[in-house]
Chains A and B, each alone.
Chain A
Amino acid sequence: MADKLRMGAVGEADVILAFKAIGAMTIPAVTADEVTQALHRLSRDKVPLIFITEAAARMAPEAISRYEQTPDTAVIPIPGIGGSDGYGTQRVRENVIKAIGADILIKQDRNEE
């Protein structure tokens, strides 16, 4: 399976413009319904990698969790114009808690400090 596939981007128009410039399929979405529809549409079009802005991701947690366990579609949160609001790192932490039962990344932060 080595087909060349395009990436997708969903979120505020300002942010996804950057992804449009590098050839991603972009769908602007600012409401929960729009985000959900955009994700489903891209996944139906067999887009393997969808970047979603953190603000948009917060709006449609159900749609995102639907694609969490399939290896075919990856939904990756990216920071918006104002920088990251911590949603992406929070998701990484949630994974750690799910797998191990405790947040081991907190320790890593403290060690770095």
Chain B
Amino acid sequence: MAVLQVNPTRMELTQMKRRLVTAKRGHKLLKDKRDELVRRFILLVRENYSLREKVEKLLGYALNDFALARAVMDPGSLRQALMYPARQAAISVGRTNILSVPVPQYTIDEDSLTQGSLPYGMADTSAQLDNAIETMAEVLPSLIHLAEKEKTSSLLADEIQKIRRRVNALEYVMIPQFEDTIRYITMKLEENERGALIRLMKVKDMIEQREANSQLI
């Protein structure tokens, strides 16, 4: 029995009861929030997992293309060709929230992907490089999508962990403590009441006895 250090008074009792109601309400709300977060997290993480496998495969192809381009081109001219990026992929970051957990939302700037021309000359570069850049640009949307899912699931995981701890603290520490304290104060007050009653009865007996004695005299 874990009783809080309080004075066993009626005022404390009312206060404790009020705190217990709040704790129970908070516990229910947090539990509901945790359940919903877990439900969404499971959906999200499954998607994240399969998306990662897909993207890893696609990115593997893109990197292979680059390796091929590097093999047929001389490193200097490759560096020179890529000095100015072939595609200016920019992203804009938005914010959304999932049950008050702020998560980022990435969107690719549309025209950055549709640029058809390549900014380098044809003479020093190979066709493999053009292909590689093309493949990379194709992978990019899935890559951004993966990044969004992965970041979201990581943030959700952390939030779920925090909420789970809070729920457990309320369920196994705070609420039992309040209940025990309430029981302790109630029992103490009842005991005081009984004590007072007995004292009164004793006093009454004593008075009666004294009166009886005085009448005798």
A residues in contact (CB < 8 Å) with B = 1-7, 14-15, 17-24, 48-49, 51, 68-69, 71-72, 74, 76, 78-81, 83-84, 88-89, 91-92, 95-96, 98-100, 104-105, 108
CB pair B150 A92 closer than 8 Å: yes
Leading 4 A-B pairs by shortest Cβ distance: A4-B90, A23-B85, A99-B157, A74-B151
Q: How far is the CA of A68 from the CA of B158 in the complex (A)?
A: 9
The A-B contact count (CB < 8 A) is 149
B56 contacts which of A22, A24, A71, A84 (Cβ < 8 Å)?
A84
| Interface contact B155-A71, CB-CB below 8 Å | yes
A1 surroundings in chain B (CB, below 8 A): 92-95
* A17/B147 in contact, CB under 8 A: no
Contacts of A71 in B (CB 8 A): 95, 102-104, 151, 155
B contact set with A: CB distance below 8 Å: 38, 41-42, 45-46, 48-49, 52-53, 56, 59-60, 62-63, 66-67, 70, 78, 82, 85-95, 102-104, 106, 109, 112, 132-133, 136-137, 140, 143-144, 146-148, 150-151, 153-158, 160-161
| Cα-based distance from A71 to B156 in the complex (angstroms) | 11
Which chain A residues lie closer than 8 Å to B112 at the CB level? 23
Say which residue of B56, B136, B137, B153 sits within 8 Å of A95 (CB atoms): B153
A4 and B66 CA atoms in complex are apart in Å by 26
Which residues of the partner chain A approach B143 to less than 8 Å between Cβ atoms?
A: 51, 76, 78
Q: Does A76 lie within 8 Å of B153, measured CB to CB?
A: no
Q: Is the interface of B mostly helix, strand, loop or mixed?
A: helix
Q: Can you list 12 residue pairs at the A/B interface with Cβ under 8 Å?
A: A20-B85, A21-B66, A23-B86, A23-B87, A23-B88, A48-B91, A71-B102, A78-B143, A92-B48, A92-B49, A98-B160, A104-B42
For the complex, would chain A's binding face be called helix, strand, loop or mixed by DSSP majority? mixed
Give bound CA distance, A105 to B87, whole Å.
36
When distances are taken between beta carbons in the complex, the residues of chain B under 8 Å from A18 are 62-63, 66, 132, 136
Partner of A99, one of B38, B52, B104: B38
Cβ–Cβ < 8 Å partners of A89 in chain B: 49, 52-53
Q: In whole angstroms, how far apart are the Cα atoms of A88 and B143 in the complex?
A: 13
